[in-house]
Chains A and B, each alone.
Chain A
Amino acid sequence: MLERLQRPIATLGHKVIEGVWRVGVMARFFALVLSSSATSVQRFRLVMREVYFSGVLSLVIIIVSGLFVGMVLGLQGFETLQKYGATESIGVVVALSLVRELGPVVSALLFASRAGSAITAEIGLMKATEQLTAMDMMAVSPMARVIAPKFWAGVISMPLLAGLFSCMGVFGGYVVGVVLIGVDNGAFWSQMQAAVDFRYDVLNGVVKSFVFGIAVTVIATFEGYDAPPTAEGVSGATTRTVVSSALTILALDFILTAAMLRGEG
């Protein structure tokens, strides 16, 4: 009887300890990646190759979703602003919500599911087929040769992708607001420029996407490196990458937004 009651509590405790343990290992992994980054600078071609795979190949999904998100924002914003007779502010609504929030967050979520899962699967499979061990045998550090370039590629790609996303979104909002609905072109841009501040809005958005880039790639590379070397292990690690990076992005977004808005007064 007592044992039956104890077991769920023991399982719960075990899971919590396991989670905390993983966070600690991930921090050590992050430090290890940073300390073995010298090769990434010396052989920049490795990083460029990874930028191609995680950044360039994500371009299509980023551009298309940015366009649609901007167009939806335009439609929804128009619907609401019409009630207050302030349809010219549609540019402000679209630009601020994209630059501050949606650009960094949605592009990071897309990046995590498009590129993060691929990184995890690749590293996990390399581990399962013992390619990483083989590298170690040849005195080639897999950290420096495989993982650090992927990390830096993600850190480079993420802000650029977020910028492209916001840019396409603003264009989508312009298409819906000005071209389709017929809001005045001059008012659209001038109100937007008056409301969007370079430092508080644009730069803060870039800082956000930078942090998200670090978080997503650390999680993706760690999950791959830590995956059990079986087919099931790799698939589980890929799922975990998407789930935990999505949660991390949203939690980090809240923390960063709270910190950034405080200074504005």
Chain B
Amino acid sequence: MERTTIDLWFGAFVTAGFAALLILAMKVGNLGAERATEVYRVQARFDNIGGLKVRGPVRSAGVLVGRVQDIHFDNERFQASVTMALDKRYNFPKDTTASILTSGLLGETYIGLEAGGEEKKLAEGDRITLTQSAVVLERLISQLLFSKAQEEPKK
């Protein structure tokens, strides 16, 4: 087949376009190493998950170790049931504590894992029993106000 300049332009255009999409996926988006890792799923029940979202981060000692995969309401226990996908590279003891935390005062909500002391490790489908709910800021403030109001007459 004879070659024409149009072929060259078409090739250059399509290559540039796909390169741009690839850059968007790899450099701008999160299709880096994070997706490729293998995961295991662990569940936990919380009384209150605050502003936790699906795909929210799971951190231990501040390091990202997994993502929140699913959140649903358990209608028998009236609690939130959260499924986390943890990176296979990291193992946690069975008595790990999961707590709902917020990064900064107004930052995103995440699950913090604190390792316990047990020998046995968490495996696929296990449940974390030690959980700590989100701190509701309004409740905290109202408690503070009440205690301050009670202090007042002592002066």
Contact = CB atoms under 8 A, between A and B. Distances in A.
Contacts of A67: none
A201 B53 CA distance: 16
B13 A160 contact: yes
B14 interface: yes
Contacts of A45: 6
A163 B25 CA distance: 10
A133 B29 CA distance: 50
Contact of A167 (B6, B12, B13, B24): B24
Contacts of A160: 13-14, 16-18, 20-21
Interface stretch (A46-54, A72-80, A113-121): A46-54
Nearest to B5: A52
B29 A206 contact: no
Interface in B13-50: 13-14, 16-18, 20-21, 23-25, 27-32, 35
Given A194-B30, A197-B55, A198-B30, A48 B6 contact: yes
A237 interface: no
User: From DSSP, what is the main secondary structure of chain B's interface residues?
Assistant: helix
Contacts of A56: 9-10, 12-13
Contacts of B10: 48, 51-52, 56
Q: Which 9 A-B pairs have the closest CB atoms?
A: A160-B17, A167-B20, A163-B20, A163-B21, A198-B31, A198-B29, A48-B10, A164-B20, A202-B29
Given A48-B10, A99-B29, A160-B17, 9 more contacts: A51-B10, A52-B13, A164-B17, A167-B20, A167-B24, A193-B30, A196-B28, A202-B21, A202-B24
19 contacts: A49-B6, A52-B6, A52-B9, A52-B13, A56-B13, A156-B14, A157-B13, A157-B17, A159-B21, A167-B23, A168-B20, A193-B29, A196-B28, A197-B55, A198-B30, A198-B31, A202-B28, A202-B29, A265-B54
